[in-house]
Amino acid sequence: MTTQAFQKVDEYIDLVCREIQCSEVHQDVADEIRAHVLDVVEDYQAQGRTLSEAVDEALRHMGDPVTVGQGLHRAHRPRVNWVLVALVAFFAALGVVMMFAVNKAYSGQFGHTLTHQKIESAIAGIGLICGMLFVDYRRIRKSATYGFAAILLLMVITDVLGVHLLGARVLRLPGGKLLNVFALSPIVLLFCTASIMSQWKVQDWRTVAKALAIFVIPWVLYLYSREFVYLLEYTLGCLPVFAVWLSKKWRFIGYGVIGTAFSGLCLFVYATVPYTRHRVIAYLHPRQFHTDIGYQAAQARHVILSAGMWGHGFGAAYPYLPNAWTDMVFPYLVYNFGWAFGGLVIMLVGAFIYNMVKMQRRVTEPFGRSVMGGCLAVLTFQFVYHIASGLGLVPILSVNMPFVSYGSAEFIMQCLAVGCMLSVYRRKDLMPKRSSAVAEV
Amino acid sequence: MGLTYSSVYNVHRYTMHRNSWYERWFHVAIDKELIKGSTVILILSLLQEQSMYGYEMIKAIEEQSGGIFAFKEGTLYPILHTLESDGLLQSYWNTSESGRKRKYYRITDAGKNRLFQKRKEWTVFRTAVDRVLGEGSP
């Protein structure tokens, strides 16, 4: 075996790889081309040529290495999902507009709090998304356990030391800033859960038990602090993570346990928490309770029904609708701009969700896929539930509309989710493929 | 897609039976653009039958097209990688019994949809061209 002949092959591969900027895929490309060339060389040798002739002929048939390399480079570049970015920008802009509308409707009672806060969070959020695009999500994987512990610790501290502000429990940080840990928790926790699960090699009852244990710890904290919406979001976010990391056999057990625990939880909450019980009753008997516990639902219904095709104009005053800037942004939006605009917003939300799902399916790397699935689940839940409860289809819980509603912690959380998805998607072609057959997930 | 000597030669052999002397003399070669556009549909249709690796695909295309399509093999890989990036194919490494690691490509559902669309497009295109050229051609 002359090494000189094979040196020519290596030189060829080198020329090809030099055109590919993403160095992570060089090994993969080199292996693929070398395997091809060796196959061709074998065939030529079988036809009776010498090794050296065969190598020369094979490389000639491969074509110009620079052209091949340039073609491969174009296939392995960072990808940006501009449609998603545009939609996020639209929703954020809509949020700012709505804050100005609410301001006008309430004749400046809030001063500049709503609008300034919203613009600040919008800028911070967009900045966060841009920053996240340049972070390699795989590097964060290793420190995920610490992140998990840190968030849980913060949740405990909020329970003990936190103050109630506008219906949320927040931590007052030194320097006066408020930190709403619970709002940030679903996404961070599901990212950490995905990281932790992705580092386990074996799938047996011990790992599944460990996974369920990790999953249950935040439940305890959420229950203790009565943050049921975030608990629901966390659970929904973890379901796709489990779907990716648990093989079919264990999936049913995992879902079974979660499903039973969740149903038990719903009954428990219904029985013991008056606030939620009232919301459900108001939902089931809308006309009967419209003056007390069903007030918000009744007002939402009235607002939407009286909106008309083109609404009552920007900043139309309707002081009877509570939380027009958070929980009831969608009905208020319809009241301002009409059913036509409401329909448009629903279509754009649909496009957003569809786009996210398409993005998630294109990613093959399992960790990225699981994290994207989780973020997708949380954002979809928030969008769908907010609009559905505004339309009176489900009981009203305090679920914000992503990017549109007021609430900087929630907005940051939603930007984290989108940023995560965009960051994973950006890298999807910059990574080598796995060595075993990719499972159909 | 470069036109290789073999592809031109094979076209020459294919057109030998035509009567016109100038067709034989000037080697009426198949348009490069036509080859480039059809490579995707060829690859997708091959992979619909079974998963293959690069060299296998090239041999299959050469064989099934009767030697008409013989192109520069290196240019196949950028196409495969681009199709994979678009989600139409999925790749995985496989080690054969002889110990050689090869990268196999498998068609996805999106790929099957694209193939179906391209087949329809091709039929429409082919019928239109035939109709314009007229039924009189041999």
DSSP-based three-state secondary structure for B102: strand
- Give me the pLDDT at residue A3, please: 78
Q: Which residue has the higher pLDDT, B5 or A245?
A: A245
DSSP-based three-state secondary structure for A328: coil
For A108, how many CA atoms within 13 A lie in the half-sphere containing its CB?
0
- CB B35 within 8 Å of CB B69: yes
Chain B interface disruption, residue of A32, A81, A355, A364, most B CBs within 10 A: A32
pLDDT digits (tens, 9 = 90+) for B58-117: 988 888 887 777 677 888 999 999 999 988 999 999 888 888 889 999 999 999 999 999
pLDDT digits (tens, 9 = 90+) for B18-58: 445 544 444 444 555 555 667 888 899 999 999 999 999 99
End-to-end CA distance of chain B: 29
**Residue numbers in chain A where pLDDT is lower than 50:** 436-441
- CB A378 within 8 Å of CB A229: no
Which single residue is written with the structure tokens 């995985």? B92
User: What are the tokens at A95?
Assistant: 């949020």
Which single residue is written with the structure tokens 């909106």? A307
Q: Which long-range contacts (CB under 8 A, 24 or more apart) does A269-278 make?
A: A269/A228, A273/A226, A273/A228, A276/A228, A276/A397
- CB of A66 within 8 Å of any CB in chain B? no
**Which residue in chain A has the smallest CA separation from B56?**
A36
Nearest CB partner across the interface for A74, out of B53, B75, B82: B82
- Give me the pLDDT at residue B34, please: 57
ipTM score: 0.80
Strands B89-95 and A168-172: unpaired
- Give me the pLDDT at residue B137, please: 54
Residues A140 and A163: their CA atoms lie apart, in Å, by 31
- Give me the pLDDT at residue B102, please: 92
User: If pLDDT is split at 50, 70 and 90, which confidence band does B15 have?
Assistant: very low
pTM for this predicted structure? 0.83
CB atoms within 10 A of CB A198: 19
- CB of B78 within 8 Å of any CB in chain A? yes
Q: Which of residues 79-138 of A touch B (CB under 8 A)?
A: 79
- CB A258 within 8 Å of CB A236: no
Chain B interface disruption, residue of A72, A76, A369, A438, most B CBs within 10 A: A72
Residues A113 and A118: their CA atoms lie apart, in Å, by 8
Side by side, which strands form the sheet with A163-165? A163-165, A168-172, A178-179
User: If pLDDT is split at 50, 70 and 90, which confidence band does B127 have?
Assistant: very high
CB atoms within 10 A of CB A152: 18
**Which residue in chain A has the smallest CA separation from B54?**
A36
Distance between B15 CA and the closest CA of chain A, angstroms: 24
- Give me the pLDDT at residue A2, please: 63
- CB A184 within 8 Å of CB A412: yes
